[in-house]
Structure 1
Amino acid sequence: MTRLDPSLLAAFAPEFATGCDRLATAADAAGAARALDALRGMAGAFGIASLVALIKAATTALDPFDATVTAVHAATLRARSAAIVAAGRDVAAIRILIVDDSALMRRLLREILAVEPSLHVVAEAADGAAALALMAEHTPDVTLLDIEMPVLDGFGVLRQRALAGGGGAVVVVSSAAPPGSPAAILARRLGARAVVGKPSGAVSPDLARRSGAAIRQAVRDAVA
Structure 2
Amino acid sequence: MPATPPPAPPCSSRARSGPGWPPARIGGWTLCSLCRPMATMPSASPSWTTPAGRWPRPGSGCHRRPEPSHDAWHGTWYGRPSGPYSLLRPGSSHCNRGVNIMKTNIYPPMILLLIGAFLVFSGWAAHRAAGLGSQVTDADYYSKGLRYTSTEVERRAAEVLGWNLDTTLDGRRLVFRLSDHDGRAITGARGSLYLAIPGRAENVYLPLAETEPGHYLVTLEQGISGAIQARLEVERNGARLNRHLLLNP
TM tier, shorter chain?
Answer: under 0.3
Q: Larger helix proportion, structure 1 or 2?
A: 1
If asked which structure has higher relative contact order (CA below 8 Å, sep 6+), I would say 1
Answer with 1 or 2: which has the greater Rg: 2
Q: Normalization by structure 2: what TM-score?
A: 0.22
Q: Normalization by structure 1: what TM-score?
A: 0.23
